[in-house]
A and B are shown apart, each in its own frame.
Chain A
Amino acid sequence: MTVAVSAEGLSFSYGERQALKGVDFSIEEGRVHGFLGPNGSGKSTLFKILATILPIQGGTANLLGNDLRGDLRALRKRIGVVFQSPALDRKLTLRQNLVYGGHLQGLRGAELNRRVDEMLAIGRLSERAGEKVESLSGGLRRRVELAKGMLHKPDLLLLDEPSTGLDPGARKDLWSFLQSQKNLTVLFTTHLMDEAEVAEELTILHEGEIVAVGTPASLKAEIGDEILEIDAVHPESLAAKIEKSSGLKAQIFGSRLHIQSPKAQDLIAELMREDRQEVDRIAISRPSLEDVFILKTGHRFWEGSEEAK
C-alpha cells in the first residue's frame, strides 16, 4: 500500500497557545480516515495545515508525495477541500458556483460543462442548478460544496466536519457516495462520535496530541470489557471501596463513576447487595468511542470543549 498522507512531529502555535504538539501519523491511499476530537483538540488546525492554508511551523508533512513546505501548486490540483464554513457565493446560482470553482482548478469549456453536469447529477442537484445558493437549504448547500470540491476529480478529499447541517438521510448518502469512490483518499475531521464510526481508520486527538489510532472497531475492542456507569451518592468513597474490594479503577466525573470491567455483572450484583443506598443509577454498556476517549485521556469528551472556550 502507498502512503497518501503522512506527518512527523507536526506542531503549530497561535502565539503562546500550542494547538498541535508534534503529531505523527500516516494514512494509506484509498482510505477514509477520520480525525476525532473535541473543540480545541487541534483537529481544525491540523485540517488547515493539510488543506495548505496554514503554513507549517514545526515538523514535516507530506501529501500525495508532495512536501507541504515545498511548491504547493501541483499538490493543490490533486486535493479537494470542503470547509466547515460555507465557501459558496450565495448571490450566484448553483451552476455559476460550480463553473467558477472549475475555472480555479483549470477546467474549462466542454470538459468543465460535462463535469458540472456530472457532479450536479450525482448530488441530485440538476433540477435546481439555476437557483441562487441563498435559496437552498443547509443540506443542499453542503452537497453543492461537495460537488465543487470533487469537480476536478481530486485524489485526496479533505472534509472539515462534513455532516454539519446535514439530516441523517443526506449524511448517509454522503458517506455511501464517498466510500464508493475508488482510489479516493478521504480525510475528515469531526467532533461527533457517530460520524467517526464511518471512518475506516480513526485518529483521536486531545489537546494537540494523538491519543489513539485504529479502526473504530479495534479501538473499542481494545477496551474489551464492558463499561459500567454508576451515579453515586458519595462517589469518592464508593470509588475507593470498589477499588479496594475488586481492584478495579473507577474514574470519577462529578457524581458519576466510570468503570471498565471484565465482570461487570458480578460487580453490579455486589453493589446491589452491599451498597444499594449508595447508588442512584447504574448502567452497563459495550464500549463506545467516547469510552475509548475517556480511557486514553482521563477526560470526558465534552470537558475538552469547555476547556477550550
Chain B
Amino acid sequence: MGLAVFSLWHREVVRFLTDRSRVFSSVGQPIIFWLLFAGALNQSSFRPGDMSYGEYFFPGTLAMIVLFTAIFSTITVIEDRKEGFLQSVLVSPVPRSAIALGKIMGASTLALGHGLVFFLLAPFAGVPIDLMSGLASFAVLFLIALALTGLGFTLAWVMDSTAGYHGIMMLFLMPMLLLSGAFFPAVGAHPLMAFLMAANPLTYGVAALRYAFYGAGSEATLGLPAQWLCLLVSVAFALVTFSLATWVVLRRSSKVAQ
C-alpha cells in the first residue's frame, strides 16, 4: 500500500516537472491574475481597513492556485480510466484506496509547490509573513489542497467526458471559488450571497488562511467566522472529499470500465 501510494504520488510529480509548458503556465497564470486584479481593483471599497486589494486578494490567489491545480491534475482521471495508465492500475493488486490517496497526495504536493512560488511575492503584496505564519498558512493550504483534490477526483471519476467536467467546473467549482471570500468579503454582500458564502466550505479554508497570516483579532480577519470553526470545517471538508474519492473508486460498477 505504502509503495503504491508513493509510486502514484511520485509519478504525478515527475509527470508535472517533465512537462515544462505546464510548469510555466500553472505558476505564471495565478501571478498574472493577481497582478491584474490587484491593479484593476486597487481603489475598490470592499476590503477591511487600509489594506490594498492586492493584499486582500493574496490569500484568495493561493486558494485559486490550489483549486486550479486540483482541477488540472484530476481531469486526467477521466481519460486515464478508459484507456491509459489508470487501466493498468485497476488490474494491479494495489488497493483501491491507494489509487485515490496517491493521486490526491500527488496533486496536493503540486498545489503546495505552486503556492510556494507565489509565497515569494508576499512582501510585494504587503502581506506580513514570517516563519510561523508561513508554516501555519502552509498547513492550511495543504488542508485546502487535500479537500479540493479529493473533490476534483470524485467529480472526475464519476464523469464520462472532459467536456462534462468543464461544465461542472464552470457551474460549480468556479462559483465556489468566487463565493469563498477569496475575491470579496461576505460583509456588505447581498444577503443571499452572504448565505451562500456561509454554506461554502471553501469560505472557511480561505478564512483559515487569513487567520494564519494575520492571527485572530486583526483588522484583516474582522467579520470572518471564528478561527476554530474555520479549521474544523476545513478538516471536515478534506475528510469528506477524501472519503468520497475512495468510495467512488471502490464501487466496481459496470460503468467504470465501459
Genuine A/B complex: yes
Contacts of A99-153 to chain B: CB distance below 8 A: 100-101, 103-106, 108, 132, 148
Binds A, one of B31-39, B87-95, B177-185: B87-95
Of A81, A83, A89, most buried by chain B (CB within 10 Å of CB) is A89
Nearest CB of chain A from residue B43's CB, rounded to whole Å: 45
CA distance A211 to B12 in the complex (A): 46
Nearest CB of chain A from residue B86's CB, rounded to whole Å: 8
The answer on a CB contact under 8 Å between B87 and A92 is no
Residues of A within 8 A of B15 (CB): 89, 91-92
Q: List 6 A-B pairs, Cβ < 8 Å.
A: A77-B93, A87-B88, A89-B11, A91-B18, A92-B15, A104-B94
Contacts of B92-124 to chain A: CB distance below 8 A: 92-95
Contact of A86 among B84, B94, B254 (CB under 8 A): B84
| Number of cross-chain contacts by CB at 8 Å | 82
A73 within 8 A of B: yes
B3 within 8 A of A: yes
A85-B91 contact, Cβ under 8 Å, with A14-B254, A92-B14? no
A55-B254 contact, Cβ under 8 Å, with A85-B82, A103-B3, A104-B4? yes
CA distance A81 to B18 in the complex (A): 27
Contacts of A66-110 to chain B: CB distance below 8 A: 73-74, 76-77, 79, 81, 83, 85-89, 91-92, 96, 100-101, 103-106, 108
Nearest A residue to B81, CB-CB? A53
The answer on a CB contact under 8 Å between B84 and A87 is yes
Nearest A residue to B88, CB-CB? A87
B256 within 8 A of A: yes
CA distance A300 to B176 in the complex (A): 56
Of B83, B84, B85, most buried by chain A (CB within 10 Å of CB) is B85
Residues of B within 8 A of A148 (CB): 88
The answer on a CB contact under 8 Å between A54 and B257 is yes
Contact of B83 among A74, A86, A91, A100 (CB under 8 A): A86
Contacts of B5-32 to chain A: CB distance below 8 A: 6-7, 10-11, 14-15, 18-19
The answer on a CB contact under 8 Å between A57 and B254 is yes
Residues of A within 8 A of B84 (CB): 85-89
B218 within 8 A of A: no
Nearest B residue to A149, CB-CB? B88
B252 within 8 A of A: yes
A51 within 8 A of B: yes
Nearest CB of chain B from residue A168's CB, rounded to whole Å: 25
B44 within 8 A of A: no
CA distance A128 to B7 in the complex (A): 22
The answer on a CB contact under 8 Å between A104 and B18 is no
Nearest CB of chain A from residue B256's CB, rounded to whole Å: 7
A103-B83 contact, Cβ under 8 Å, with A55-B253, A55-B254, A89-B11? no
Name 4 extra pairs, CB < 8 A, besides A92-B14, A103-B7. A52-B91, A83-B83, A87-B85, A103-B4
